[in-house]
Chain A
Amino acid sequence: MNPQQLQVGLAQMDCTLGDRQANLERHQRWVEKARQAGVQLLVFPELSLTGYFLKDLVPEIAITLEGPQMKEILGLSKDLDLVVSAVIEEPDHRYFNASLYLSNGELAHLHRKVYLPTYGMFDEQRYLAPGDRFRSFKTPFGRAGILICEDIWHLSSAYILSLEGVDLIICPSASPGRGVTTDERLGTAESYNLVCRTYAQFLTTFFLYCNRVGYEDGANFWGGSMVIAPNGDIVAQEEDADEALVTATLELGEVRRQRLANPLLRDERVELTINELRRVWHERTRKPY
């Protein structure tokens, strides 16, 4: 293994809605496929163990971090690091849309989705509790952070992770395709490409976007999973809505080189930002009504 390189894989897959066992078996097959392809870090889509439009299935399909299902899931990460996604029930019976970073059979990090879309075709806050933090974590390949789907539609999420010094942002997603025009691709595909590439380039980090395929109640998941380099270039992508293992070799030194060429992070005025945000917040909350 070259410590300067990381072989990543994105499991652009379909899920069975509300059938945890079927999805666990899917994960086993994808892990095996990725292992054979020499993948060291494999990312699954949002809610990969459950399916997305769960509605009242949320409490029925949730797992606990201490429960027996967790053991099976951890067992998937013996040979390679994984990001898998599930509904996590906390001891106080709040349910979270969560992504787990697994390494060597252990849970290395847990991110609870902060921004739960509850508009248009989405209804997450009806069923789920929002996370309350963005934290980076150490991996064998550098510092990473996880943002789940809607989290990336809030600039501050990626900005916070960036200030923690992440080399890599991982985004599991279950994005339904919509917006049909005469364009080559769906509106959602265009938007995500723009957002993910912008983050990678502005924050000079690698960006892994893993989206689902398949249909739930007529909604199509458009795939488009991509690996983006710290200069904003897409280095691998499955543009179609087909199941695919998207792989790429990341040259980890690229983060350093990009930050020397383009020292945006060095020049970032964190204290100024904090002061200005505090001022804005004070002005907003000082209003009499």
Chain B
Amino acid sequence: MSEPASPTEPIFQPLAINGPLVRQILVRFLQNEVRKVGFEKVVLGLSGGVDSSLVATLAAEALGPSNVRALIMPYRGSDPKSRRDALQVAGQLGIDYLEVDISPQIDAYFSRFADADQKRRGNKMARERMSILYDQSWAWRALVLGTSNKTELLLGYGTIYGDLASAINPLGDLYKTQVWQLADVVGVPTDIVKKAPSADLWAGQTDEVELGFQYRVVDQLLYHLIDRRYTVAEVEQLGFQRAFIEDVLRRVRDNQYKRRLPVIAKLSSRTIDRDFRYPRDWGH
């Protein structure tokens, strides 16, 4: 596949979406799934990236800005632009926000493990933020919104029980290229939509450098493999390199555990989630 001029464009046609329709489905999804279980409010981590900015925008539209609390949780190594972007989005939406600098608690912990590598530190930060969100969830009687998209979930590009943890997730069935389109439709600042995606766990980190491929390319591959069930031979004929296909398939397979509850050793005749199966919206 040739290198695209822009990371967000052009849009691969099968992944092009009717933005207003998706917006309506997701806004109603948030209203329905939040309110019917007895909540009015939500909390989410607002990083200043496109995913969380989009979720914040949808939540503000669905529940009203006063029912949305954004947690801005920088670490001292985070890019200052991320914080500025998060503040811009919170200000633009008129939602409630709270800043919690996670540096003291992260540094206190790693003072005992000075040799910890970047990935370990990054995972710890993601879980620290999750812990804060769930504490705020209790304190504010609000559900935690997830912001992981379909690309990240399939590739396992997230921290289990960290940023992957949430009560409900409006973006989990949208590929990254679709997130960009929807963000544009709902009015997320263009600067945020166009900037290089980053987990911002260390200085200069970008998703696409770390992953080794571009979202708009991998989304096309995932669309064919997952949504359309193309075989490896068929996607190879489309022009995807064999090594790239195998790398992506390996990531999808190796990260399956992140998308499931912990494995339970089966003993009884009705084991939770195996033969004890109830809908999550049981009674609602």
Contact = CB atoms under 8 A, between A and B. Distances in A.
B18 interface: yes
Given A218-B168, A220-B25, A220-B29, A18 B282 contact: yes
Contacts of B21: 180, 184-186
Contacts of B277: 55-56
A1 to B, nearest CB: 39
Contacts of B284: 16-17, 19
B283 A180 contact: no
Interface residues of A, number: 24
B28 interface: yes
A182 B18 contact: yes
A178 B25 CA distance: 10
Interface in B241-284: 276-284
B144 to A, nearest CB: 15
B38 to A, nearest CB: 13
B155 to A, nearest CB: 21
Given A18-B282, A216-B281, A218-B168, A180 B22 contact: yes
Contacts of B29: 215, 218, 220
Given A57-B278, A177-B25, A220-B28, A19 B16 contact: no
B225 interface: no
Interface in A207-229: 214-218, 220
B33 to A, nearest CB: 6
Interface string A149-191: 0000000000000000000000000000100111111100000
A180 B23 CA distance: 11
B190 interface: no
Contacts of A184: 18, 21
Given A184-B18, A184-B21, 12 more contacts: A17-B284, A53-B281, A57-B282, A181-B18, A183-B18, A216-B279, A217-B280, A218-B33, A218-B168, A241-B24, A241-B25, A241-B28
10 contacts: A18-B282, A19-B283, A53-B281, A181-B17, A182-B18, A183-B18, A186-B21, A216-B279, A217-B280, A241-B24
